[in-house]
Each structure stands twice: as structure tokens, then as C-alpha cells.
Amino acid sequence: MKICCFGSLNIDMVFAVNEFVRPKETIQSKGLSIYSGGKGLNQAIAIRKSGAQVLMAGSVGSDGKLLLDECDKCGLDRSLVRVLDSSTGTAVIQVNDAGENCIILFDGANKENDEEFIDSVMERLENGDYLVLQNEINNLDHIMRSAKAKGIKIFMNPSPIDERLLKLPLEACDFLILNEVEGAILSGADDHDDIMKELEVKYPDTGIILTLGENGVRYRTESGSGRKSAYRVEAVDTTGAGDAFTGYFIGMLSRGEGIEKAIEIAQKAAAISVTRKGASGSIPLVEEVIGFHKF
Ligand code: RIB
């Protein structure tokens, strides 16, 4: 069984600020760091760090060497990462003193995945393989329908959520791994109980993993439903914490863990990642995650 993450690869330009810039303001940052990122690449790295093999698929521009090097450093198979004659996706990120972030995306090559390329990715996958998706690349409709037709398991992290995402055949997904904001928009409900109920009605055949920050995680899958409380840590930078969770959850499932255990380990990985700067670079290795005992 293979895991393919077909997603974005971004250069993250991270500005450390006291507070986020507001309209009409010009502010001084406390520092600028350049990291590899993109929800696709971050999740692929999290899957790899959890101990599973992963095939990364996506597109960068001619300025994307940093990201190719990161794939190599982390041991990803990047034979399905194309280098196009265009610009690499870029994220301008502010991280404030509370460790919160706000992000502006430039899609670049991430939105240049044509059907021919998608079909060549699908040729490498077969029935029962895992396909990991987020909402930072184009042509997701074609990707999801092709995967479903081949019996590939689709794990969808519907982030960032936008109008385009609402038109996708999300009922084709085997798992939706989403946060409170995404859950509220997809379900039309506000309260956590109602979000879970409405998502069950809308996507009866899809496992739902709803992450709620300090309120933990709610889940419903064919093997049962429940909730897990959150681990409390001092946040330095929350960028990529959702990706650490998603990647670890999928990696652990692929390694044979049950849903509850996979969620617990994913929560630990995300908790450790928020105590460090950066996105993919802040994701811990599995040995550290297993040894994490804070409550
Ligand atoms: O989830 C964090 C990621 O979102 C960043 O790495 C940035 O590139 C954006 O894709």
C-alpha cells in the first residue's frame, strides 16, 4: 500500500511581529525567516516522520530548489514533483507574540496541475492506496474523481476553505480531517455537537476527524465515535500544527494503529510542533512523539 500526498509546496516567508499589521499601518518586524512549507509538503513530511513512506506529487517553479532539497532531506520520494517554467508557490506569514499566524498565499506552480499530469500521478497508484489532499492545488475535482474510480482511499484536509472547495465531490472522501472553522462552513452549524451531526448527515460514508484546538478532537468513523482532550503546551508558532496532526494521523493509520491511537499520536505531534518555529521543520520525529507525556 502506497501513500501519495498530492498537494502544495510553498516557500514560507515568515515575519515575526508583536501584533499583526492592521489596515493603514506599516510595522517593523522582529525578524524574517525563510522555510519550506505548503500544506501538501508539510503533511507529506509529517507522514514520513511518523515512519511511513510517502510519494510527494505536485509542482514547483524554477526557483523551487529549497523545496526539492527539503524533500530529499526528509526522505520523500519526489519523482512526481515537477519543476515548471513558472514561479514556486509562496506564503507570506506573520507570527505574533502569542504564536498565532496569518497567511497570504501566492499559488504559483501549485495551480498548474493539468489533467495529463494528474493522470500520470494516478497511474502510479492502485486500489487501496492512500491519497492525501488539501485545498491549495487546482483540478481537485478531476483528482478526486479519478482516485475514486480506482478505489484509492481519499484523505481530504479541506484547508484553506473557499467557494471552490464547496463544489468538490467531498462525499467521495474516505476521511475529512478538518478544523472548527471548516467544519462550521461545511455543516452550516456552529456548535460542536451540531457540526458533527450535520457532517454525519451530509457525508454518511466519510470518517470525520474534527480538530478543535484547546477543546481537543471529535471523531466519527465506521468503527466508532468519540472525543479526545487536548494536550496543553506553550505556543511559539502554530504554523503547520494542523499539518503535523493530519500527516501523523494518516501515517499512523497506515502503520496499523486504530483511530483513537492514531488521533492521540497525531495530537502529540501537533502539540510538539507548536512549541517550535516554522512549519515542516517544526514537525517532530516519531521517537520524540511517542516519548511525549505532557497533559
Ligand atoms: O499550514 C501551514 C502552511 O499553510 C504553510 O506552510 C503555508 O505554506 C501554507 O500553505
pLDDT digits (tens, 9 = 90+) for 34-64: 999 999 999 999 999 999 999 999 999 999 9
Q: Which residues are catalytic?
A: 243
Tens digits of per-residue pLDDT, 65-105?
999 999 999 999 999 999 999 999 999 999 999 999 999 99
Is residue 99, in this structure, part of any structural domain at all? no
Give residue 201 CA to ligand 1 midpoint distance, Å: 30
Tens digits of per-residue pLDDT, 268-280?
999 999 999 988 8
Ligand 1 shell residues, CB under 6 Å: 8, 10, 12, 37-39, 42, 91, 103, 136, 239-240, 242-243, 279
Tens digits of per-residue pLDDT, 183-220?
999 999 999 999 999 999 999 999 999 999 989 999 99
Is residue 249, in this structure, part of any structural domain at all? yes
| CATH, residue 45 | 3.40.1190.20
Is residue 196, in this structure, part of any structural domain at all? yes
Is residue 205, in this structure, part of any structural domain at all? yes
Q: What is the tally of structural domains in the chain?
A: 1
Which three-class secondary structure state does DSSP give residue 88? coil
Is residue 28, in this structure, part of any structural domain at all? no
Is residue 96, in this structure, part of any structural domain at all? no
The CA distance from 153 to 175, in Å, is 8
| Residue 229 domain boundaries | 3-9+38-86+109-290
Is residue 208, in this structure, part of any structural domain at all? yes
Task: Establish whether 135 is an annotated binding residue.
Answer: no
Q: Are 147 and 130 in contact (CB under 8 A)?
A: no
Is residue 135, in this structure, part of any structural domain at all? yes
Find, among 279, 285, 273, the residue nearest to 14 by Cα. Answer: 279
Q: What per-residue confidence (pLDDT) applies to 295?
A: 55
* Strands annotated E in 141-286: 153-157, 175-179, 207-211, 217-221, 224-228
Model confidence at 152: pLDDT above 70? yes
Q: What per-residue confidence (pLDDT) applies to 12?
A: 97
